[in-house]
Structure 1
Amino acid sequence: MKPCYFILSAVLLMLTSCKIAPQPIDYGSDGCYFCSMTIVDRQHAAQIVTKKGKAFKFDAIECMLNHLKEIDQKEVALFLVNDYGKPGELIDARIGHFLISKEISSPMGANLSAFSRAGESKDHIKAYDGVWYSWKELLQYFKSM
């Protein structure tokens, strides 16, 4: 009987340890996986979660994008970014809208911010001098850098 409990426990542990979900960011404590800076900015942090459930946290969207140059993106299940308009809230980067504006500083100097709705980014473009990108356009932009 005891070996059955051991096997059942091992299977349950494997199932729960591979959960593909965002991990909470402990602002002021967690470090950026790419640059090692402490993550403090609730408007510009980012995270990727692999298909195996491992989460990598970043202090800025540009750190995540630079890290993506070094890995096989096919292994990533979730691309997440903080919504500039809702600090601390992670959104799916693939449906996000991105603004690069010198008037909105981001932690690593790319001046890159994410928005959950296109209207929000367009309103910010009117208020700030900047260029907006879709996720695919942003990936191309950073790939060329």
Structure 2
Amino acid sequence: MTVDARRADIISAIQAETGIDDQMIQTLVHGFYGRVRQDPLLAPIFTAHVADWEIHLKTMCEFWSSVALMSGRYHGRPMAKHSPLEIDARHFDRWLHLFEESAADLCPPAAATHFIERARRIAESLELGVAAAGGLILPKGSRLHRPELDPSMRDGAGTSL
């Protein structure tokens, strides 16, 4: 069996189990990023780093096709894009919350579960990578906290996480 034939079999099996197809991926990606672009915590980060939303959304559809269907369409380097960002656990938690909410609202249950399981692994991996890029090695179960990024922690207000 060729690599392409094997990949087609894997995609078909995932689609049969979850109902995920290219249209569902596009609906989820566009719906999710519509929420991100309105979110007070995440919107400023994306606005500062996404120059062309059409290209970004196309890339994210390819990414989620590769993640959810094992299609192999995405060939980027997500860690390189995220590691220089000034983000921490709050941002990853909010991203994940919006993604889970979008998947639950826009996808049938089996597909939502499939997407959410992968999103949780991606968020954890990216958070560990962002921490490592900043010279921090997070012990198992620890989170990346950057009090300087939290407005409630500036000027002595609030308490340390």
* TM superposition score normalised by structure 2: 0.27
Instruction: Considering fraction of residues, name the structure with more strand.
Output: 1
Q: Which has the higher contact order (CA 8 A, sep 6+)?
A: 2
Q: Which structure has the highest helix share of the two? A: 2
